[in-house]
């Protein structure tokens, strides 16, 4: 029979072994708004349940520009976090610097290749090796509406075309409420602009202008029409919009102060956190003219090379957890997005998420699935950054002609 002292020694050894492999993960992200913070907290919980320590490295600022600036200085100083929220083509740029870790052993063990859409898996790989783990699929071309405000203004349901939209906006204005809740920050201007351009020109035009950066499309009459429409949207925003954070704009819709917001479905995380019910309190609808298209924004964590063995183990556990079913469900329920992992059970998700999931599959087959340029999915950061500034210059200056707006956006698109 095993003696009590032997048992105690054995237990102590197991505990020590676990402790030795318990590491710290420092995670850089910009999820500080209500729904976002709740989502990030779920990942922290999962990591803690595996015995690891979570070091939160949150840098506030929607869209992530501030976070990326801070990340650069940390990496240059030779002190990168274990993981950072890095998306799209920027993943390739970081990997080409030789600073990212190879996640192939986790990816193989967890069968990522068969669990991810190929378009997504390709973005997570550099030269065929996984260097990042995806968490979700956000749809950007949404329009959020407060049901009670629409009712008060006499608007029957979400407008489907831009003409219908402006008619609705007029009614809301007459009812003494704010038609469009907007936050005047360059990434929010760009978010609205890409939805307007998609609605005005369709997915083919969007793809030519914002993915291929085709000069003809960028200087076309369709682009002029998109800018005119964009300016008209601005005329329905309030005077306090400049500088406002996106979640405060969402709060205006939640609190029945404003009718509409153009924003990706992280806005739904705010409605959810405020216990609002889609279809009853608020409406999620594709932005006018974009029902057959889907601008995708996949959040992901790139992992940096680390020296310490326990930290490496914690990092591998983080990568595995991110793609696990438990995290994919609970995170996305809070975040407003849908799981990126294929074949997930959507039973607990609301109607907006179910519509997103259906449209993601349908547009990937029919051809309306396009990467969000405003959310760093379509072109390298230097190009999208220059275009974002050009779009905001036009938005902020009502005296700038549409022709000059077109010219300056096309010039920005040619940034090398």
Buried b (16+ CB within 10 A) or exposed e, 338-348: bbbbeebebee
> Under the criterion CB under 6 A, does residue 88 sit at the interface with ligand GAL?
no
Q: Which stretch binds ligand GAL (CB under 6 A): 49-57, 59-67, 165-173, 210-218?
A: 59-67
Distances (CA, A) of 398 to 186, 225, 237: 16, 15, 13
**138, 268, 313, 388: which one contacts ligand GAL (CB under 6 A)?**
138
> Under the criterion CB under 6 A, does residue 62 sit at the interface with ligand GAL?
yes
> Under the criterion CB under 6 A, does residue 63 sit at the interface with ligand GAL?
yes
**Smallest separation, CB 380 to ligand GAL (Å):** 16
Nearer to ligand GAL among residue 37 and residue 344 (C-beta): 37
**Smallest separation, CB 191 to ligand GAL (Å):** 9
Nearer to ligand GAL among residue 31 and residue 165 (C-beta): 31
Contact residues for 259 (Cβ-Cβ < 8 A; gap 6+): 145, 146, 149, 150, 153, 155, 168, 169, 172, 177, 178, 179, 180, 181, 253
**133, 375, 379, 391: which one contacts ligand GAL (CB under 6 A)?**
375
**190, 266, 282, 331: which one contacts ligand GAL (CB under 6 A)?**
266
Angle at 411 between CA 408 and CA 412, to 5 degrees: 85
Closest among 365, 202, 195 to 295, alpha carbons compared: 195
> Under the criterion CB under 6 A, does residue 52 sit at the interface with ligand GAL?
no
**26, 36, 189, 350: which one contacts ligand GAL (CB under 6 A)?**
36
Distance between alpha carbon 121 and the CA centroid of its chain, in Å?
17
**46, 54, 57, 64: which one contacts ligand GAL (CB under 6 A)?**
64
Buried b (16+ CB within 10 A) or exposed e, 192-201: bbbbbbbbbb
Which contacts qualify for 397-405: CB closer than 8 Å, 24 or more apart? 398/231, 398/234, 402/224, 402/227, 402/228, 402/231, 403/224, 405/227
167 touches 159 (CB < 8 A):
yes
**192, 297, 334, 363: which one contacts ligand GAL (CB under 6 A)?**
297
Residue nearest to ligand GAL (CB): 62
Nearer to ligand GAL among residue 64 and residue 385 (C-beta): 64
> Under the criterion CB under 6 A, does residue 34 sit at the interface with ligand GAL?
no
3-state secondary structure of 303: strand
Q: Which stretch binds ligand GAL (CB under 6 A): 58-66, 72-80, 145-153, 399-407?
A: 58-66
Alpha helices in 236-305 (DSSP H): 246-254, 266-273
**25, 27, 31, 289: which one contacts ligand GAL (CB under 6 A)?**
31
**Smallest separation, CB 261 to ligand GAL (Å):** 13
Instruction: Note the residues at the interface with ligand GAL (CB under 6 A).
Output: 30-31, 36, 62-64, 138, 246, 266, 297, 299, 375
């Amino acid at each position: 029979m095993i003696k009590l002292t032997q048992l105690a020694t054995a237990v102590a050894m197991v505990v020590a072994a676990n402790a030795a492999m318990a590491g710290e993960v420092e995670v850089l992200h910009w999820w500080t708004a209500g729904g976002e913070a709740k989502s990030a907290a779920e990942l922290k919980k999962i990591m803690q349940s595996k015995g690891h320590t979570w070091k939160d490295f949150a840098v506030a600022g929607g869209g992530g520009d501030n976070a990326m600036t801070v990340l650069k200085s940390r990496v240059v100083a030779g002190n990168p976090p274990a993981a950072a929220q890095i998306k799209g083509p920027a993943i390739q740029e970081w990997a080409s610097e030789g600073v990212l870790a190879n996640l192939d052993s986790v990816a193989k063990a967890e069968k990522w290749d068969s669990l991810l859409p190929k378009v997504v898996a390709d973005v997570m790989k550099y030269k065929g090796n996984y260097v990042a783990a995806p968490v979700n699929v956000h749809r950007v071309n949404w329009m959020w509406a407060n049901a009670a405000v629409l009712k008060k203004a006499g608007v029957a349901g979400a407008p489907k075309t831009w003409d219908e939209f402006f008619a609705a906006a007029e009614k809301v204005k007459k009812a003494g409420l704010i038609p469009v809740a907007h936050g005047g920050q360059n990434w929010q201007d760009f978010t609205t602009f890409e939805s307007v351009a998609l609605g005005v020109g369709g997915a083919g035009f969007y793809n030519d202008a914002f993915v291929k950066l085709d000069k003809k499309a960028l200087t076309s009459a369709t682009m002029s029409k998109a800018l005119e429409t964009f300016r008209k949207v601005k005329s329905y925003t309030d005077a306090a919009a400049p500088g406002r954070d996106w979640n405060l704009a969402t709060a205006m819709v939640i609190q029945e102060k404003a009718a509409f917001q153009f924003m990706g479905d992280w806005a739904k995380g705010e409605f959810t956190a405020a216990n609002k019910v889609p279809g009853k309190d608020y409406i999620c609808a594709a932005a006018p003219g974009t029902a057959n298209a889907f601008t995708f924004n996949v959040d992901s964590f790139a992992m940096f090379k680390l020296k310490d063995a326990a930290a490496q183990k914690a990092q591998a556990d983080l990568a595995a957890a991110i793609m696990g079913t438990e995290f994919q469900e609970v995170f996305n329920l809070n975040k407003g997005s849908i799981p990126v992992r294929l074949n997930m059970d959507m039973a607990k998700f609301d109607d907006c998420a179910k519509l997103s999931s259906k449209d993601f599959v349908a547009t990937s087959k029919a051809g309306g699935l396009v990467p969000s340029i405003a959310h760093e999915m379509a072109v390298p950061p230097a190009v999208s950054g220059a275009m974002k500034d050009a779009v905001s210059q036009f938005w902020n200056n009502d005296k700038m002609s549409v022709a000059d707006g077109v010219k300056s956006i096309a010039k920005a698109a040619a940034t090398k």
